[in-house]
Structure 1
């Protein structure tokens, strides 16, 4: 099996497990915000349909897209251990999300080694993807 297939399987395992922990499902209209910068972190969001962008605004007011979370992805996973969100989230299209309490995610990471290992693999893949995007952007200049 190729590496990308393994990554997809690992991500699917995390998503399937986290879906069972969701306490709510929300529909977002285009341009609606599931959270804003400096809001307290109460939940992890799973995008089931549509797309949510994580944005940070530059000094000139222009947005920088830090993450595009499409269907079957985790939104703002880096905030699991933060007190407040460090960016704004905005629906790029009509979107459906599941809400998982951040305390539940933290408990899983502390008490379930298999989940913690899968989470670490997921974050590693996300970091590799971010570095690849940064490399592509730097070459375009």
Structure 2
């Protein structure tokens, strides 16, 4: 792989990464999980690498006040909680948002497979770097006090959410869906 490959549009990079990851999970059985069901719980021991074939899974943590904080939403073609591959236990809960299909491979076997595929490892590293950038941007957005500023910043970074509902945008910028819909209505009215 040459570095110029990283200049490909993001969706093409993701297709290439998905294909390489899919090879490592090709012989793993497909597990279907209904929407709203747990995939793992905080403090469960980590035994497997989990590849998301379809659906979406939220990594969430319940705060001391009882509020739920969504840390990340995994989408098809990605690993679930990949940072946990280097920990003893999960630091959060994983719950399906939609009907989901996933594949599991023993952690050791997955890491051995990565060691034998430097191109896949490099793509995963690039994906992890993008995720760090996205989380830093999210922190910056959440520090903004006004909803219009948060929304403008999110749209500047991500564009209009063509492939996801506005409720996910509300969650990403730390506001209620109702507040976001009021802001969107204001903007439509203002033209």
* TM surpasses 0.5: yes
Q: Using the TM superposition, give the Cα deviation of residue 53 of structure 1 relative to its aligned residue in structure 2, in angstroms.
A: 0.5
Aligned match for 1:33, one of 28, 38, 58: 38
What TM-score results when the alignment is normalised by the length of structure 1?
A: 0.85
SS in 1 for 2:46: coil
Match of 2:23 in 1: 17
Structure 1: give runs of 5+ residues left out of the alignment. Answer: none
Could you tell me how far apart the structure 2 residues matched to 1:132 and 1:10 are? 25
For these two proteins, the number of residue pairs brought into alignment is 140
Distance 1:74 1:140, change over 3 A: farther
SS in 1 for 2:74: strand
Distance 1:116 1:70, change over 3 A: closer
- Structure number with higher helix proportion: 2
Root-mean-square deviation over aligned CA pairs: 2.1
Aligned match for 2:119, one of 98, 110, 114: 114
- Structure number with higher strand proportion: 1
Structure 2: give runs of 5+ residues left out of the alignment. Answer: 1-6, 147-191
In terms of Rg, which structure is larger?
Answer: 2
What TM-score results when the alignment is normalised by the length of structure 2?
A: 0.65
SS in 2 for 1:34: strand
Deviates more, 1:61-70 or 1:117-126: 117-126
Distance 1:109 1:10, change over 3 A: same
| Relative contact order, higher structure (CA 8 A, sep 6+) | 1
